[in-house]
Amino acid sequence: MIVYFHRVGLSGLTANALVVPVMGLAIPVGFLAVFTGWTWMTRLGGALLAISRAVVHWHAALDPDWRIPTPPLWLGAAFSLALVAAAASRGRWWRLASGTAVAGLLALLLWQPFPPDVHPGELELTVVDVGQGDGLLLIFPNGKRIILDGGGIPTFGNRPKPQLDVGEDVVAPYLWGRNIRSVDVVALSHAHDDHIGGLPALVSDFHPRELWTGATPDSPAWRVLRDRALQRGVKIMPLLAPQSFAWGGAQIEILAPFADYVPADAPSNDDSLVMRVRYGKHSFLLCGDAERPVEYRMLSENELQPADVLKVAHHGSHTSSTQAFLDAVKPVFAIVSVGQDNSYGHPHADVIDRLLDENAVVYRTDLDGLVSIRTDGRRFHVGTWRDLAPALAPLPGYEQ
């Protein structure tokens, strides 16, 4: 339960004691109802199922909403061995010792006092593979953490909302797998479903103090996120360009949206929060889904400078990453967050060609899976899900 669902359900012990015999009776009753067609037998089977469901729901309401990070392998093995020892022990003192070990290791499982898997003194950008969308984790040199966008699955017309919550089912397990239990900020680039969809769950799961946004015209998805943040006491902070501030041991610069930007009635790509994060000699440029008009405005305001790492805008669409923009940014690494075999044709071949012409090393989540780049201000450390042995990436002109 902890490894796969990051939950612990202690009430399941009593729930199973009641549900298993009821279901053991419901199965033969169901078969009899099928073969005989007796109405009273069908009603009996339905009543047994209703009893089972009611017992499960009642027990589920008793369990606290604990979310447990993935435990170390040694702890899971030790707890399992202690359970076996408790079940097999016969002497009084052996039972006492094994029972104490079970209780102590269970407390350790729930407490999880282990530090998160981070790299102090380094700036990290991890682009989680959320399919067709964005889900980014930023870890700062002093340990502060930002989730920027949470993925999501767009719905069109009257199609039902998908059951998969990308924030809860994709992004959160990755963070829990690194023993990250909280973040300082959740940030929203813009309110399209493939960016905002997973954020309400991430606000609930990781207890941020602040929610950073770009332009946020009214929409159902934005209302859900806003209300969730207000319920949790999260401070909502719209950020506008030009703005610069020190944060987490690095420098954050807001390049868009501009103070005079007027959003449309519905969310659009140009609402995007565009941030540049500087640390030491290097900088990361995170563009959301900003398109040509925003790129041209940033160029005209002389905001664009060379950046070592570019999170490519709008999943590599031809509506972004213009030649003038790339000539100004000159990325060394370019990361495209994109779904495999997506129906939009992302990334566009022209965009990839332009990036390669700039001599950028291009990573794509549809081909490479999760992509993580971190720097100590001098060197880069690059890793992907496809390459489980990340290596230092020496680059011409960069101090090693």
Same domain, 206 and 282: yes
Same domain, 102 and 209: no
Crossing angle between the packed helical segments 39-62 and 12-36, to the nearest 10 degrees: 160
In a domain, 120, yes or no: no
Q: Considering its fold, how many domains does the chain have in total?
A: 3
Same domain, 100 and 152: no
Residue 320 clears pLDDT 50, i.e. is over it: yes
Same domain, 353 and 216: yes
Chain segment 192-228, per-residue pLDDT in tens:
999 999 999 999 999 999 999 999 999 999 999 999 9
170 DSSP assignment: I
Structural tokens at position 114: 């282990």
Contact (Cβ atoms closer than 8 angstroms) between residue 5 and residue 12: no
Handedness of CA 116, 119, 120, 124 (dihedral sign): negative
In a domain, 383, yes or no: yes
CA atoms of 37 and 31, how far apart (whole Å): 10
Same domain, 79 and 155: no
pLDDT band of residue 250 (cuts 50, 70, 90) is: very high
Contacts of 56 (CB under 8 A, 6+ apart): 15, 19
Which structural domain range is residue 188 located in? 134-392
Same domain, 34 and 105: no
In a domain, 161, yes or no: yes
Reduced to 3 states (helix: H, G, I; strand: E, B; else coil), residue 212 is strand
pLDDT at res. 16? 84
Chain segment 375-385, per-residue pLDDT in tens:
999 999 999 98
- Cis ω for the linkage preceding 257 (within 30 of 0): yes
Q: What CATH number is given to the structural domain containing 322?
A: 3.60.15.10
Same domain, 269 and 333: yes
pLDDT band of residue 27 (cuts 50, 70, 90) is: very high
